Chain A
Amino acid sequence: DAGVIQSPRHEVTEMGQEVTLRCKPISGHNSLFWYRQTMMRGLELLIYFNNNVPIDDSGMPEDRFSAKMPNASFSTLKIQPSEPRDSAVYFCASSLQANYGYTFGSGTRLTVV
């Protein structure tokens, strides 16, 4: 099993540009989570999906952020337009069942200049 796969590993972009982060969960896992990690705020849940359906997006900062999961093996998190305060490490995670812990991907380090 290749684990949770995220791309890109690093992204540097200019303010105002669109950024798309990608995630492939572990095959068979039915829940997918997007988290953001900063020194100041720690790990914050942005949104999660069960069986490809968005369940809780209360952590999405504002309308500039959107997430999709078109099928069980792929999800995207998009930021448009990006701002310097969006600079953080974005993690995708997946889990098999509600009572299990997550497996995290390697993360995408986003820098907006």
Chain B
Amino acid sequence: QKEVEQNSGPLSVPEGAIASLNCTYSDRVSQSFFWYRQYSGKSPELIMSIYSNGDKEDGRFTAQLNKASQYVSLLIRDSQPSDSATYLCAVRLTGGGNKLTFGTGTQLKVEL
């Protein structure tokens, strides 16, 4: 089992819909979780961080964390074509010090 797993997609959603991106991780006691957005040919950009169980909202983005089930998700409301990108889940695994372990990313396509 990979330490951080994501469905590679592509996930296609119509403009205005809710996009739901999921990530599972192997380390039950991990404490820090991050979502990055990466446009084609660009560097990853941090969009959300979450540390406690439950939901965290920031504008159109909501991160959800369930430590018992070892998954973290990202919801994008009112999806726009400009949201089309690859979304990377990153976890600070126990014993990993300060490093983040990234999933391979989910490609999101928002269609007009």
Contact = CB atoms under 8 A, between A and B. Distances in A.
Interface in A7-36: 31, 33
B91 to A, nearest CB: 11
Given A43-B88, A99-B51, A104 B44 contact: yes
B102 A102 contact: no
B45 interface: yes
User: Could you tell me the dominant secondary structure of chain A's interface residues?
Assistant: strand
A105 B46 contact: no
Nearest to A41: B104
Contact residue range for chain A? Answer: 20 to 34
A103 B45 CA distance: 7
Nearest to B34: A101
B49 interface: yes
A33 B90 CA distance: 14
Contacts of A101: 34, 36, 46, 49, 90, 100
Contacts of A98: 92, 97-98
Interface of A: 31, 33, 42-43, 45, 48, 50, 55-56, 91, 95, 98-107
